[in-house]
Structure 1
Amino acid sequence: MPEPIKPTPAEGVGAETFVRALSLTRITPAEGSDTTAAVEFEAVMSTGAAVLRYDWGRDRFVSEVLDMSPKAVDIERMNAGASVLDSHRTSGLEAVFGNVVPGSVRLENGVLKARLRLDPQDARSRKVVEGFVRGLSVGYTVSRWEIDEATDPVTVRATRWQPHEVSVVSVPADPAAMVSLAGRQAFFGPDRASHC
């Protein structure tokens, strides 16, 4: 079933949480570095690309677009060190297996980026690093919308939104946004070398 969205003009939709796919690039560790240390990735969290959503309030599909201008994206909460979660689960600490590196979130040429740190002792991190799980997604809330009824489908633009978590997921909203494994090296010990 499509994910719900209930847009209203200018006033916003309240505290509903939405998710988007993102991609990661492994930050190559220095030769001889500690393989038990946290592993860091460079993440592309959003380019603002359109995602088809379902508007339950108006019984129609809409094209959701994130405004990627600095005035639209509130990165303060994410930049404080938000969590990396398992499938957007927020019900307990066992869902957390990494975090956003504090101060690393930024907008570069209309692309929202950050560095993520994963716990190397967690099996879920290993699946990401070795490429078995490649889908990731960002969770965010929207406080202001602009709606263009002249498009087909209707375009719903988030003009004020805040990312607040990043998740490893089995099926991302955008199937083209995946983990980049370029330049990866051995992670879980010297006998576990990974190659592209």
Structure 2
Amino acid sequence: MSKGSDVVRAYGVERLAITPKAVDISRVEKGVAPVLDTHRQESILGSSIGKLAAVWFEGSSLVGRLQFHKTDAGKAAFGMVQRGEANAISIGYSVQSWEITDEDGRVIDPAKERLRVGEADYVFTATRWSLYECSIVSCPADPDAQIRQWGGNRDIADPAEYNRLAKFRMETRQRMLRRERMYRK
């Protein structure tokens, strides 16, 4: 979902700290973090295509599992993801605290020191932030924020059919492992 890659903004470079201490995922845990169509929030019926079912940390990445709605919009988005037509993610968040550093890596305290906007290169690192939503987009600010494919059945748009095939693959693999153990004895 997000690696916290640097994103150039008008005021400097923005970076998200990706650690359990930095990221508030309570909205996901409460089931109120939607998956949106390109950050559109104006309509729950048209803009919301799913929800973030779970998020977790893998090294320095924030990863999540999407659950698509069974609406026409949700099914269409699921199909586009399965076919590889939609593969980029962007997250919506709110920052509670920043650490600002200059081009030499020195931490700047804006309460004590004036920022020289346009004169210096600053990095604004969100050290505490809340995840609000996840959007499927065509051009993410973070180029590393992409949907990972599961399995090799990108042409299967029906979730029930995909799950049936995934279960079949898993059972087949388990049978093969049992046979291998039998022959090794």
Q: Would you call these one fold, judging by a TM-score over 0.5? A: yes
Q: TM-score range by the shorter chain?
A: 0.5 to 0.7
Residue 152 of structure 2 is aligned to residue 184 of structure 1: yes
SS at match of 2:24: coil
Residue 51 of structure 2 is aligned to residue 95 of structure 1: no
- Cα 1:179–1:99, aligned 2, differ >3 Å: closer, same or farther? same
**Cα distance in 2 between the residues matched to 1:105 and 1:133:** 20
**Cα distance in 1 between the residues matched to 2:17 and 2:135:** 21
Partner of 1:162: 130
Gaps of 5+ in 2: 105-119, 162-185
Residue by residue over 1:40-82, the C-alpha shift from the partner in whole angstroms, topping out at 9 and shown as x without a partner, is xxxxx22222111112xxxxxx111111222211111122221
For 1:54, give the aligned amino acid.
A
Gaps of 5+ in 1: 1-44, 56-61, 191-196
Partner of 1:135: 88
SS at match of 2:142: coil
1:70-109 aligned at under 5 Å gives the runs 70-81=20-31, 82-93=33-44, 94-101=46-53, 104-109=54-59
Query: Could you tell me the TM-score, scaled by structure 1's length?
Result: 0.63
Residue 83 of structure 2 is aligned to residue 115 of structure 1: no
Query: Could you tell me the TM-score, scaled by structure 2's length?
Result: 0.66
Higher fraction of strand? 1
**Cα distance in 2 between the residues matched to 1:169 and 1:67:** 22
- Cα 1:184–1:125, aligned 2, differ >3 Å: closer, same or farther? same
How many residue pairs get aligned? The number is 138
Residue 18 of structure 2 is aligned to residue 68 of structure 1: yes
| Rg larger for | 2
SS at match of 1:46: coil
Give identity over the alignment, percent: 37
Higher fraction of helix? 2
